[in-house]
């Protein structure tokens, strides 16, 4: 089987490609740069939209794993962010799918986002695949629209589409808020988060790669949507404590009323960042476990320790 991976040089793509090669799969790695991915056939493209030329790139491919996307950023400087997200994430994805059909591709595994379900869950509840989508930001909206476009292509052509919605992905090379937490812990900065009582689902990058590989060939996966997670939800304070211990820089947490932190977030224009620290977001990954017999190969503890080890090695903390 020959597999094409888009976004191959990215955070998830590198791990996925390495694991596919390790398992003896032939991989054609598509990215915006000429990153050297050992054992892969590298293809460089300038970007993904409705005009991307996939001629030749899809030749001989049986399965596409579509990771490439315009990702969420804290300060989006585009005049019309939704249009920019739609150009890559929605129109680009549908165009890729239709080109894949024309090239004889059998299955497309699409990495969407839990943002399609929404931004937060209430106490005692978890997102599931049957929930009505409540995408709230341009990124989530574009991902939901891409899912709908893929369903149309599948219905019209018979392409086997598998959709995977991960929550926060972490591991070696992680960026964004997770990397910021590592930096703060390494510096020993006290944090006013001891009073937070939330639960969040995470997925270790190697667990996500394993889940995507499970979606490649399993007959039951065709036409399905799956939420994936490590299966061990964790509060923000406990996450910081585990990371601090793994970094050998214990977390210094002190109590502060969450309502006061929310007020501070609104006053400083960082309400969304604060809410991600205070709020809950849990996913039920039971469906992929039942239907594909998928079990995450790594525990949360193993994933956090590996992430901390990478940070210590690369940042010298």
C-alpha–C-alpha distance, residues 226 and 215, integer Å: 9
* Whether 139 is catalytic: yes
Which residue is catalytic, options 110, 139, 170, 204? 139
Active-site residues: which are they?
Answer: 139
């Amino acid at each position: 089987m020959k597999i094409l991976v888009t976004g191959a040089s990215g955070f998830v793509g590198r791990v996925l490609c390495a694991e596919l090669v390790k398992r003896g799969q032939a991989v054609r790695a598509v990215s915006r740069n000429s990153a050297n991915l050992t054992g892969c056939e590298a293809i460089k493209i300038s970007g993904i939209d409705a005009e991307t030329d996939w001629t030749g790139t899809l030749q001989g491919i049986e399965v596409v794993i579509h990771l490439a996307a315009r990702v969420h950023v804290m300060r989006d400087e585009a005049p019309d962010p939704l249009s920019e997200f739609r150009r890559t994430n929605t129109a680009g994805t549908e165009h890729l799918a239709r080109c894949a059909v024309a090239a004889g591709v059998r299955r497309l595994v699409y990495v969407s986002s839990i943002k399609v379900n929404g931004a937060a869950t209430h106490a005692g509840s978890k997102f599931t695949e049957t929930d009505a989508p409540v995408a709230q930001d341009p990124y989530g909206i574009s991902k939901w629209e891409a899912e709908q476009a893929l369903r149309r292509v599948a219905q019209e052509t018979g392409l086997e589409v598998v959709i995977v919605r991960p929550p926060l992905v972490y591991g070696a090379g992680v960026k964004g808020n997770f990397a910021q937490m590592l930096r703060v812990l390494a510096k020993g900065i006290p944090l006013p988060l001891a009073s937070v009582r939330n639960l969040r689902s995470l997925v270790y990058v190697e667990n996500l790669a394993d889940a995507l590989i499970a979606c490649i060939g399993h007959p039951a996966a065709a036409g399905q949507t799956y939420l994936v997670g490590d299966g061990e939800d964790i509060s923000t304070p406990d996450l910081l404590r585990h990371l601090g211990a793994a970094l050998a820089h214990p977390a210094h947490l002190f109590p502060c009323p969450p309502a006061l932190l929310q007020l501070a977030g609104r006053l400083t224009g960082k309400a969304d960042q604060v809410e991600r620290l205070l709020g809950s977001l849990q996913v039920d990954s039971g469906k992929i476990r039942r239907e594909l017999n998928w079990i995450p190969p790594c525990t949360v503890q193993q994933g956090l320790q590996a992430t901390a080890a990478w940070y210590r090695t690369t940042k010298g903390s």
